[in-house]
Chain A
Amino acid sequence: MRSVVRHLLLIAFGLVMLYPLLWMVSSSLKPNDLIFRDPSLLPAAWDLTNYTIGWNALAHPFTHYLANSAVVVAGAVLGNLVSCSMAAYAFARLNFTGRRLWFAIMLMSIMLPIHVVIVPQYVLFSELDWINTFLPLIVPKFLATDAFFIFLMVQFFRGIPKELDEAARLDGCGHIRIYARIMMPLSLPALATTAIFTFIWTWNDFFGQLIFLTSPDMYTVPVALRTFVDSTGSSNWGALFAMSIVSLIPVFVVFLFGQKYLVKGIATTGIK
């Protein structure tokens, strides 16, 4: 009985949380000119035209942009996993010179707004001839520029008992082996956290992808979605909503299946 009440409350709250999304789904099923004139949540007819139009309205079928986003996301996830875990290992386990200072510098690097560093970054990438490739969006991840995740993993690593790697050292293991054989498997959940957050945030990132990908062939989903709207002329709102929903599906699925690792995740690192 108690749990029925809880379910009802959760469902009610869930509906409040989801109302804007439901409105978006409903709008994606309405003809373009009715979206703003007809505020009702239930569309008069279930019409999938916006989806077929949206899918094919741009220069390429929408799969093209999904694929571009997938490439960027895959590169970013892989890069963050490798580079951030390496840096985190150093910060969590190695007593090297100037560690505190470097740690503070790392934290500082996430405190400056992107808008003032984008121009110098653009200069750099254009000198490297990387503009209009996915490299500016992927290579930095392999160079551990997402300090957020280093910080996150440092905290995870510190939770793994030191006795484990000290024992391994006595057995003659070097740092590389300790990192690869002990830390990585034990922090699998931490890696899952990093992977999922990187996936979601990269999938949604707009500004970097807008600036570094200039050719419409290279557009990723967030940039491609913008080409449905034009504040100076007419916009295809129906197609925008339809394709926004399409682009939500992959992240939603990733979260749905990934959340059990996230939650299991941090808990299992606390080996006593």
Chain B
Amino acid sequence: MRNIGHSARTGRGRRAAAVVGAGLVLALAACGQGEDPAAEPGDDGGTSADGGDVTIRFAWWGNEDRAAITNEAVDVFEAANPGITVETEYVDFNAYFDRLATTVAAGDAPDVITMGGAYPREYGDRGALLDLGEVSEFLDTSTLDAGALSNGFFSDTQYGVPTGANTYGVVINPAIFEAAGVDLPDQDSWTWEDFADLAAEISANTPDGTYGAADPTSAEVLDLYLNHRSGHGLYLEDGSLNATPDLVADWFTYGSGLMESGATPPATITSELTTQTSPEQSLLGQGLAAMSFGWSNNLGAFRDASGQELILMRVPGDTGENGSAMWQQASQLYTINAQTAHPEAAARLVDFLVNSTEAADLIGTDRGVPSNETIRAHLSEQGLEPTTQVEFDFLSQVSEFIDGDFVIGPTGSTESAGILTRLNQEVLFGQTTPEDAGAAFVTEVTAAIS
């Protein structure tokens, strides 16, 4: 079988590389390099089933623990697929995406690329990712939960496979509730007003420096809030913006109200925390906040950091008139480079990672709770860590309320989080009013996604 990706690589990608290197052409010719655009490293190794040796590159972000278990899983994959060698590449999140942009631009990206957030769409809609339908022979996606799978489906194409699912909730430190003499909320009925009242009460009843809640403003929470208010999140299915200036202004009023009542910390602390995002540095991780919004898969890290038995609860307002706003989000997605010389080998690796119990035994829930039901059952049988059990339970509890698919932000929407953070800071520091910030948010995000 001639590999599918080759034509793509000699086509668009090569052209882009050639144009970028316009100024280099002469020099390259002088060095006796680059004269033959057809001479690609991948050219000589077809991914045939009869076993020509191929090497593929697999990249992800994360810390060293993740690297250790993933490398072990890759070793198992290599042993089961003697013709395939996998080179792994990993670095921390920000550095990962800088490097990815550079390598994709230069036509030298890894074959299997881990994606997250709105990035898959940024890359997919610009032709950098392989339509996984082309390799469905080697990569079975029918085993995966539809809700999680939809995270990798956009522009009528399945571009990504979820590594696992997460959901969003309120992480709660019961010890602080107890110290403040405040009862835990009822997650099946509490409203945004309840959240504000509880947080203010806790702040008042605890020593200075301990707060009822961390500042809740984030793209995820805004999405939930808008959904509760209007029935739709930040974006509509067609990729347009659903947020209106009024609704966003209401959110900013709510958020700054929390700060003024003392429920959340002063602006300087909130702004300090936006640049220090690891669980250890958060108020919750330091044991200084009773409540904070967060992803379910970070529960373990928050527990380790605070040394407390933190618990997860459904977000407030989720039982209002517009129903639940909850979604299951793929914590990460595996995607394949559109220009890969070895789509079959790449697809086999992804299939192994999401569909095999061997991989699950090593990777566990490191990249979210697996979206393959058989794998979940397998992991449960093996016995789960207590924290992981809590995550499993919470996810299955929340999944009962999930209605409809998760709307993936359109191209350019990766910027919305930064825009929101900046405007929120301006509101909290009193540099602008919630109304102006709401209008600015809509204007700026509209510009970013157009």
Contacts and interface: CB of A to CB of B under 8 A. Distances in A.
B71 interface: yes
A231 B28 contact: no
Contact of B304 (A33, A119, A127, A214): A33
A35 B322 CA distance: 43
Given A33-B307, A207-B98, 20 more contacts: A36-B305, A59-B64, A119-B20, A119-B106, A120-B20, A122-B103, A122-B106, A123-B105, A124-B28, A126-B108, A127-B28, A127-B33, A128-B33, A210-B99, A211-B99, A214-B57, A227-B90, A232-B62, A235-B280, A237-B280
B92 interface: yes
Nearest to B331: A232
B98 A233 contact: no
A187 B88 CA distance: 46
A236 interface: yes
Interface string A123-134: 110111101000
Nearest to A119: B105
Q: Which 7 A-B pairs have the closest CB atoms?
A: A234-B301, A230-B63, A122-B106, A123-B21, A127-B34, A126-B108, A123-B106
Interface string B46-74: 00000000000101011110111001000
A52 B103 CA distance: 35
Interface string A29-51: 00011011100000000000000
Interface string B273-316: 00001111100011100000000001011001101000000000
B206 to A, nearest CB: 16
A227 B63 contact: yes
B269 to A, nearest CB: 13
A236 B304 contact: no
Interface residues of A, number: 38
B89 interface: yes
Contacts of A214: 57, 59, 89, 99, 103, 110
A231 B108 CA distance: 26
Interface of B: 17, 20-21, 23-24, 28, 31, 33-34, 41, 57, 59, 61-64, 66-68, 71, 87-95, 98-99, 102-103, 105-108, 110, 116, 277-281, 285-287, 298, 300-301, 304-305, 307
A251 interface: no
A232 to B, nearest CB: 5
Nearest to A226: B92
B102 A122 contact: yes
B98 A210 contact: yes
Nearest to B332: A232
Nearest to A230: B63
A229 interface: yes
B93 A231 contact: yes
Given A211-B99, A234-B304, A236-B64, A124 B21 contact: yes
A254 interface: no
Contacts of B103: 122, 214
